[in-house]
Structure 1
Amino acid sequence: MALALVNSFAPPVRLDHDAHKESPVIDARNIGVNFKVEHGTVEAVKDISFQLYRGETIAIVGESGSGKSVTARTVMGLLSKRAVVAPKSTVDYDGANILKYPERERRKLRGDRISMIFQEPMSSLNPIYTIGSQIVEAIRVHQKMSKKQALARALELLKQVQIPDPEARLKQYPHQLSGGQRQRVMIAMALSNNPDVLIADEPTTALDVTVQAQILNLIRNLQQERRMAVILITHDLTVVRQFSDYVYVMQHGEMREHNTTEKLFANPQHSYTKHLLSSEPRGQANPLPEGSEIILDAKGVRVSFMMRHGTFFKPELKELVAVDSLGLTLRKHETLGLVGESGSGKTTFGQALLRLNDAENGEIYFDRQPIHGKSRTEMRPLRSRMQIVFQDPFSSLNPRMTIGQIIEEGLVVNKLGATKAERLDRVREALISAGMPGNILSRFPHEFSGGQRQRIAIARAIALEPEFILLDEPTSALDLSVQAQIIELLRKLQDERGLSYLFISHDLKVVRALCHRVIVMQHGKIMEEGPVNEVLTNPKTAYTERLVKAAFEVA
């Protein structure tokens, strides 16, 4: 009876199918995907059906681990060897079941007629090739075009996705770009061959709010010009409401509900959909204890890089000042937000404060102790007291190590825990604190969704019981309801352990809910700083006003 109730909101055919005169460009029916794991089988996707018509956007929403990305990878033919697709599954593209295609035919479709923007750009871009050569390859694999023509097309694409200084970026490598810039490169590659179908898996996760609107508008404009169909996989319901025509809601590998965007938001039927729509970062930081001491103090910090311009035979080096003589103070128990668009220098500044990159000038004091002159060896005793959670959990978790080994490694290096059993207890406790089960120690990072991997990265930091954590976009890969859980978790840990956070983010809704104060950065400079409510309610600069408007108002 309960099962019939669940499925009544999600029939195999769309509720608006009578309104469409033509056949869908993609008609997926009864998709089922199992993964063989060490102790049996995991049902990742169970009996999923959806239809996509030319010129429209459908959104697939749900929490991390709901099966959204697995569904998309089934369409693309990019599942791992452990995956088993159910025999009854069909994915009709222009009337033919592409699940029956030989691998060579699937490869011809991939990147040409059906293209995909992946969630984690650092793991999708090849670190040993320049950005230009990777875009050129994506073009020339599917189009008869000279290298010179492909390079001109690559430059045009980078301009379309609003990447700063596109000529210089063509000659750079992925590690030289910020997270948001790498994501824009991935979008440029996906659009390079004018596909019929674009699958966008969290395409704006790494982008700041102002660029997010530009990118989504760009995709929509291209869609209207070429009648391209888009599958948008996201946890950002503001984006779904603004850009999609039809919404599918997934949970635990099953379809809970689907309907036109307008009807689903106006009158959600399933309890899970109602839960999703009511989830948004709420509350505010607990007041600071009186007389909180300063734990981190920085003055005049400057970091610059030499960027290569010009041609191969006449290279020209120009200095890029990423952090322009900045300072800040952070107190015990305090959360300080560092916000700004991608490429503004937020992460570079944060890493300089932890001595993970070298500042040319400036003074940095941690717990009143000067650390700006310390060598790597001299910094080592302080490392367990200051931790970092990176933006991209896939590239920060060793793919060859189990979850237990990854988290335990820090305890071993810092000589925490007298015995292995004691260390493993701390590992399990950290995982549970971060909202993950304690029985996943023997599993590997690739077996988890993006959001789950981010929680594992948070657990790794928590396990060392630090006093200060640099959080670099820690909630960017998480869906709304899990974001709320992580905010509560970070608040709870702060209260219990007196933690101090430097919170780097482009999500101003999360910053408002978590931070005491906020610093707004642009082009390596501080534009504005002050109490979070004051800055976000009454911004003093046009730049901050633009950020606030993009975050809190639907464009």
Structure 2
Amino acid sequence: MEKTVLSVENLWISIRQDKPVVQDISFAICQGTVLGIVGESGSGKTMLCKAILGLLQHQSSVAVTGRVLVNGKDILKISARELQSMRGNEIGVIMQNPMTAFNPLIKIGGHIIETLMAHRTISKQEAYATGIAMLKKMNLPRPEEIMNSYSCSLSGGMLQRIMAAIAMASSPAVLIADEPTTALDVKNQALLLDEIEKIKNEEKPGIVLVSHDLAVIARIADEVAVMKAGKIVEQGQIYQVFEEPVHSYTKELLSARLMGGRRVRC
């Protein structure tokens, strides 16, 4: 049996003592497994991802209870310094909009080298060579040219794959991909999903994939959790939930999606 790398237990998130935006969420992810999370805007998907990344518990206006275990360590109980060490080492992230994820005044190579040197004991020259290898692994053309480029000169699809390369730089146990295909055209969506599948099969992180696109979830996820109003209303194997949904909201999502008139198949 594969090792459990991420376990979320009875997670609640409230902002300024208002009604909880995430309510009693629990799930576990093993190595090499993708959990797809779907649901309408405002259902709590991104807040859940932020909690897993440890971005909420040190904010005075946010109350977070429950447990989020990464390789058995509860990130809700550790210090901000320990969290900083875990991000990039044990938890990687691919964000939604690649055009805003990079400092436009720093070359791509600078981003990659800084990340590698922050988490490994290597020289700048070694970090540069590793960066070239990372970009090649993501099937990006002319990696030396990319390392010397600014983000404004690269396409969204290229930047998203560069972000994926950076996210996997230290072979994290958990990878969070929050709407990674939203800003991409169909061709670049397919290229990015190819790379995520490659990461899943070769590096075997536990992956949380958030998407509005049910076709994206159907293609890559092993399990799916359907969120509505801060709660998981249905969860199970991807083929089971998509082929035989039980909850009325899941049925609404599946009937509302438009895929050229075709049914989403797993």
Q: Which moved more, 1:234-243 or 1:122-131?
A: 122-131
2:199 is aligned with 1:222: yes
- 1:121 deviates by 2.0
Aligned to 1:85: 63
Matches within 5 A, 1:314-353: none
Structure 2: distance between partners of 1:120 and 1:44: 23
- 1:190 deviates by 0.6
Task: Give the conservation status (yes or no) of the 8 Å contact 2:214–2:264.
Answer: no
User: Structure 1: 5+ residue runs without aligned partners?
Assistant: 1-20, 283-508, 514-551
2:224 is aligned with 1:247: yes
Structure 2: distance between partners of 1:553 and 1:247: 14
- 1:256 deviates by 0.9
2:256 is aligned with 1:279: yes
Task: Give the conservation status (yes or no) of the 8 Å contact 2:215–2:264.
Answer: no
2:7 is aligned with 1:30: no
- Equivalent of 1:51 in 18, 23, 28: 28
Amino acid at match of 2:175: L
1:346-385 CA-to-partner distances (Å, cap 9, x unmatched) read xxxxxxxxxxxxxxxxxxxxxxxxxxxxxxxxxxxxxxxx
- 1:57 deviates by 0.7
Aligned to 1:202: 179
Secondary structure of the equivalent of 2:180? coil
User: Structure 2: 5+ residue runs without aligned partners?
Assistant: none
Paired residues in the alignment total 264
Secondary structure of the equivalent of 2:18? strand
Structure 2: distance between partners of 1:124 and 1:244: 25
- 1:177 deviates by 2.1
Secondary structure of the equivalent of 1:28? strand
- 1:166 deviates by 2.8
Secondary structure of the equivalent of 1:100? coil
Structure 1: distance between partners of 2:187 and 2:76: 38
Normalization by structure 2: what TM-score? 0.90
Task: Give the conservation status (yes or no) of the 8 Å contact 1:117–1:186.
Answer: yes
Normalization by structure 1: what TM-score? 0.45
Amino acid at match of 1:48: I
Amino acid at match of 1:257: E
1:60–1:239 Cα change, 3 Å: same
- Equivalent of 1:156 in 133, 136, 145: 133
Structure 2: distance between partners of 1:161 and 1:205: 19
1:73–1:553 Cα change, 3 Å: closer
Structure 2: distance between partners of 1:162 and 1:278: 36
- 1:123 deviates by 2.8
- 1:244 deviates by 0.8
- Equivalent of 1:109 in 86, 92, 104: 86
2:189 is aligned with 1:212: yes
Structure 2: distance between partners of 1:205 and 1:129: 24
Structure 2: distance between partners of 1:35 and 1:124: 25
Matches within 5 A, 1:173-184: 173-184=150-161
Matches within 5 A, 1:403-422: none
Structure 2: distance between partners of 1:224 and 1:553: 23
Task: Give the conservation status (yes or no) of the 8 Å contact 1:33–1:83.
Answer: no
Amino acid at match of 2:63: V
2:208 is aligned with 1:231: yes
- Superposition CA RMSD, Å: 2.4
Structure 2: distance between partners of 1:76 and 1:228: 15
Task: Give the conservation status (yes or no) of the 8 Å contact 1:35–1:82.
Answer: no
